[in-house]
Structure 1
Amino acid sequence: MLTTIAGFDRIGEENAFTVLARANALAAEGRDVINLGIGQPDFRTPDHIVDAAVKALRDGQHGYTAANGIPALREAVAADVHRRLDIEVSPELVIIVPGGKITMFSAILMFGEPGVDILYPDPGFPIYRSMIEFTGARPVPIPIREENDFAFSAEETLGLLTPQTRLIILNSPANPTGGVTPKAEIDKLVAGLAERPDIAILSDEIYGQMTYDGLPHVSLLSYPEIRDRLILLDGWSKTYAMTGWRMGWAIWPPALYDKMRKLAVNAWSCVNSAAQFAGLAALTGPQDSVGAMVAEFDRRRAIVVEGLNKLPGVSCITPKGAFYAFPNVSEAGFKAKDLASRLLEEEGVAIIGGPDFGVLGEGYVRVSYANSAENIERALARMADFLTRNHNTAAAE
């Protein structure tokens, strides 16, 4: 009888893909399904990026590349960081990876082991906790609260540190809440972490170019006092509508960079060659598509927030980043996952129950506005019909 090591019994998953599979199955049966569940832009990858990949293939870019990425692409990442954030980064600290998850997987694997504490946001991206538990480390949730506009509290976060803390994971702009932590709070956290130089920091900034109302993105790269232990996660998936290309990049501190490069050699050899040339075109080519996409998300954000706040038993604060709303459904008469399931099965509206993002996700659902304004309005109408019919009679489990 086959047995596996204990870590594989602890590994979780990202339920957004389970909901996506069910939504696709219903659509295949002829149902009209509106997907507000999956976190991917509904835009096409810009043509000049696609053309660059096609050209690379036709030019014979079919072989292995360096494990850390082609030099021109690492240089382009460093130049892009300087252009957007006015922060100097050496290309020699940039590594190209097959998707953003690889960076979090690698960082958690590098620091996680039994007897170690790793802090992560809750509600937050579910792979954080899954991978922490896989390594045998103790997952310590950082509460992300609605009353704090879904930003983390520096004081509360620092209060969770123990002598066993080895890694802290931060995410702003955040999935699933759309929260953006203000600079003043980040300043306080960094000041507190200055007293713990033994703690590594993973900053997930994959939504860094998606903030609204003139709110600037504050990157942890801008704090020199933690650069020697900061791992920055970013990539092309959200910014350039390239989720299926599996393209990510990370900046690692000098002490950890070669460890990460060796892990790449052992695990995936290198990133798809032609895709790297697509990534190069994305960073060095016109950026107007990024601004246009974010402007459209902003327009949809207003539609989503207004519509959700009109639903019986639902309230929604305005998200400040990413392309998610995280409405409070605690007065709607359903547990969050039950509400999400029934909306999909009965109304053909796919959303994600808050508990899929952590213990503190109960009472909330995630609504992605990475879908057309027309589909969002249709989905809101269906949700209104469902809740109007059921709000007064449904009992919470």
Structure 2
Amino acid sequence: MIRISTLAASVKPSATLAAGAKARQLKAAGIKVFDFSLGEPDFNTPKHICDAAERAALAGNTHYTPTSGTPEVKAAICKWYKTFHGLDCAPENVIVSNGAKHSIHNALAATVGAGDEVVIPTPYWVSYSDLVSMTGATPVLVTTTPESGFKMTPAQLRAAITPRTRVLMLNSPNNPTGSVYSRAELEALVDAMDATDAAILSDEIYEQLIYGGAKPTCVATLRPWLKDRTITISGASKSYAMTGWRMGWAIAPPALVKAMDTIQSQETSCPSSVSQAALVAALTGPQECVAEMRAEFAHRRELTVGLLTALPGVKLPVPDGAFYAFFDVSAYFGKTFGDKVVTDSLTFCGALLEQAHVNLVPGVAFGAEGFVRMSFATSRDVIEGGIGRLKDWLRTGK
């Protein structure tokens, strides 16, 4: 029998993908499931982006590209950051990868290893800690609370930093909470890093999905010295509904980009040529599609918040960005639903899916027991129907 490596045995499956797989199994059995597990826009990729991919394929642009991306896609990324954030970057600062998750992996693989520490505020996206652990480094989790808006304070950051700290991972707008750090809050955090030599990995993939008075901030623009200390991560999956195209990127100092390029050359040779052509169209073409999707997500946010806050015992911090509601269901722990005793977020979500066919992701996967995550990147009818089903199910608890 082939033995499984220690690395493979130590990595946990993605909780969000696992939740989606369970829902698909029930759907395949003919059961109607209200699935709120995956962070994937339900919109189709805009037509002008698909058209660009078709033109590229028909023109024969189906061969290997440079490992870190074509000159055209790098130029498009640089122009977009100058326009959207006022950030000056050059092609040697940019590497395009097979999705933002791949970009994060490459960045960590190029910066940390055994004996190093990576500071991560919780709640955090389910893959962060495992991506760190896969390098041999140690994730250092810093607990935030609803009272702080799920935001880490400078005092918490300073307390978490040790001589072994190599990277701070930030994510604003945040998955799973939807919290958005203000520019002043981020300035206070990065200033707490000034006396260290640690890097900042800033995952900004939800930067165009913000609501109300919240504003996105590119961390690399906060202080002049940050351009040499920051790894900016983003991608096309969320803002342009391009999850399956697998287009992510990193902006970083040239020496680090070169190291990531070397790693990527051994992993995948290069990103998809056709997807890169599509990304150029996304970044340089009409942006009304983003505004339209953002407006619809804003309506869904209002609907979701209104329905969830009306549920007894549910506590919901209002999300300012992304497309998730992260709410406290701990008031239902200790109750029995059918033949299931709910003791934590995992058993809560399991019983809910099995009995009411509503699929949420347990907060424990995000480092926040007592909470569950709901994606409202789905139709208003599904949101109303699913929360209605959740409401009826909660009433059955004894």
With structure 1 as the length reference, what TM-score do the two structures score? 0.95
Amino acid at match of 1:374: D
Amino acid at match of 1:190: V
> Could you say which residue in structure 2 is the equivalent of 1:61?
61
Q: 2:357 aligns with which of 318, 323, 348?
A: 348
Deviation for aligned residue 1:242: 0.4
Pairing of 1:216-231 with structure 2 (within 5 A): 216-223=215-222, 224-231=224-231
Task: Give distance in 2, aligned partners of 1:164 and 1:5.
Answer: 26
Task: Give distance in 2, aligned partners of 1:22 and 1:8.
Answer: 22
3-state SS of paired residue (1:202): strand
Unaligned runs of 5+ in 1: none
- Given that 1:94 and 1:250 are in contact with CA atoms closer than 8 Å, whether structure 2 keeps it comes out as yes
Pairing of 1:1-397 with structure 2 (within 5 A): 2-196=2-196, 198-223=197-222, 224-333=224-333, 334=342, 335-358=344-367, 361-390=368-397, 393=398
Amino acid at match of 1:376: I
Amino acid at match of 1:51: D
3-state SS of paired residue (1:159): helix
Amino acid at match of 2:175: N
- Superposed CA offset, 1:96-130 (max 9, x none): 11101111111222233222111112211121111
- Superposed CA offset, 1:131-190 (max 9, x none): 222222221002232111122212211210000111111111000111111222211111
3-state SS of paired residue (2:175): coil
Deviation for aligned residue 1:379: 0.5
Amino acid at match of 1:241: A
Unaligned runs of 5+ in 2: 334-341
Quote the RMSD (CA, aligned, Å): 1.2
- Aligned residue pairs: how many? 388
3-state SS of paired residue (1:150): coil
Amino acid at match of 2:203: D
- Superposed CA offset, 1:190-248 (max 9, x none): 1111111x211110001011111032111112122221121110010001000011111
- Given that 2:157 and 2:192 are in contact with CA atoms closer than 8 Å, whether structure 1 keeps it comes out as no
Task: Give distance in 1, aligned partners of 2:261 and 2:132.
Answer: 21
- Given that 1:115 and 1:137 are in contact with CA atoms closer than 8 Å, whether structure 2 keeps it comes out as yes
- Given that 1:154 and 1:186 are in contact with CA atoms closer than 8 Å, whether structure 2 keeps it comes out as no
- Superposed CA offset, 1:360-385 (max 9, x none): x1110001000001110000100000
Amino acid at match of 2:67: A
Task: Give distance in 2, aligned partners of 1:4 and 1:165.
Answer: 30
- Given that 2:175 and 2:322 are in contact with CA atoms closer than 8 Å, whether structure 1 keeps it comes out as yes
Deviation for aligned residue 1:27: 0.7
**Worse-superposed segment, 166-175 or 340-349:** 340-349
- Given that 2:205 and 2:233 are in contact with CA atoms closer than 8 Å, whether structure 1 keeps it comes out as yes
- Given that 2:237 and 2:243 are in contact with CA atoms closer than 8 Å, whether structure 1 keeps it comes out as yes
Amino acid at match of 1:347: A
Of all paired residues, the percent bearing the same amino acid is 38
- Given that 2:345 and 2:363 are in contact with CA atoms closer than 8 Å, whether structure 1 keeps it comes out as yes
With structure 2 as the length reference, what TM-score do the two structures score? 0.95
> Could you say which residue in structure 1 is the equivalent of 2:337?
none
Deviation for aligned residue 1:25: 1.0
**Worse-superposed segment, 87-96 or 37-46:** 87-96
- Given that 2:96 and 2:103 are in contact with CA atoms closer than 8 Å, whether structure 1 keeps it comes out as no
Task: Give distance in 1, aligned partners of 2:157 and 2:240.
Answer: 32
Cα gap change, 1:86 to 1:303, in 2 (>3 Å): same
Task: Give distance in 2, aligned partners of 1:22 and 1:382.
Answer: 18
- Given that 1:240 and 1:290 are in contact with CA atoms closer than 8 Å, whether structure 2 keeps it comes out as yes
Amino acid at match of 1:383: L
Amino acid at match of 1:338: T
Deviation for aligned residue 1:5: 4.2
Task: Give distance in 2, aligned partners of 1:289 and 1:121.
Answer: 32
3-state SS of paired residue (1:81): helix
Task: Give distance in 1, aligned partners of 2:139 and 2:291.
Answer: 37
- Given that 2:167 and 2:198 are in contact with CA atoms closer than 8 Å, whether structure 1 keeps it comes out as yes
Amino acid at match of 2:395: T
**Worse-superposed segment, 336-345 or 319-328:** 336-345
Amino acid at match of 2:317: I
Task: Give distance in 2, aligned partners of 1:56 and 1:42.
Answer: 25
3-state SS of paired residue (1:88): coil
Amino acid at match of 2:219: L
Deviation for aligned residue 1:4: 4.5
3-state SS of paired residue (2:75): helix
Task: Give distance in 1, aligned partners of 2:144 and 2:207.
Answer: 18
Task: Give distance in 1, aligned partners of 2:94 and 2:135.
Answer: 25
